[in-house]
Copies of this chain bind each other. A is one copy, B any other.
Amino acid sequence: MKNSFGTSVRTTVFGESHGPFIGAVIDGLSPGMVIDDSFIRHQLSLRRPSGSFSTSRVESDEFQIVSGVFNGRSTGTPLCILIPNTAHRSADYDKLSSVARPGHADYAAQCKYHGYQDYRGGGHFSGRITAALVAAGAVVIPSLKEKGILIGTHVRSCAGIQDICFSSDEPVLRKQLACLGDKVFATLDDDAACGMKAAIEKASTEGDSVGGVLETAISGLPSGLGEPWFDTIEGLLSHALFSIPAIKGVQFGSGFDMVDGRGSAFNDSFAMEDGKVVTLTNNNGGINGGITNGMPVVFRCAVKPTPSISKTQKTVDFKELADTEISVGGRHDPAIIHRARVVVDSVVALVLYDVLVGRFGSDFFAGN
Contacts and interface: CB of A to CB of B under 8 A. Distances in A.
Contacts of A305: 258, 261-263, 265-267
Nearest to A76: B113
Contacts of A160: 260
B307 A263 contact: yes
Contact of A285 (B226, B248, B311, B313): B248
Interface string A63-84: 0101110100111111110100
Contacts of A66: 14-15, 19-21, 23, 82
A250 B108 CA distance: 22
B129 A229 contact: yes
A142 interface: no
A270 B358 contact: no
Nearest to A337: B259
B268 A14 contact: no
A184 interface: no
A285 B249 CA distance: 11
Contact of A316 (B32, B70, B270): B270
Given A210-B263, A249-B255, 5 more contacts: A7-B7, A107-B223, A114-B366, A116-B366, A359-B361
Nearest to A77: B124
Given A129-B229, A227-B3, A255 B105 contact: no
Contact of A269 (B243, B251, B313): B313
B224 A255 contact: no
Nearest to A156: B259
B76 A112 contact: yes
Q: Which of A108, A254, A287 has the most CB of B within 10 A?
A: A108
Contact of A321 (B3, B225, B272, B288): B272
A111 B31 CA distance: 11
Q: How many copies does the complex hold?
A: 4
A198 interface: no
A272 B232 CA distance: 41
A249 B249 contact: yes
Given A21-B80, A77-B16, A285-B248, A311 B238 contact: no
Contacts of A313: 264, 267, 269
A54 to B, nearest CB: 15
A293 B105 CA distance: 8
Interface in A261-308: 261-272, 275, 277, 279-280, 283-285, 287-294, 302-308
B3 A103 contact: no
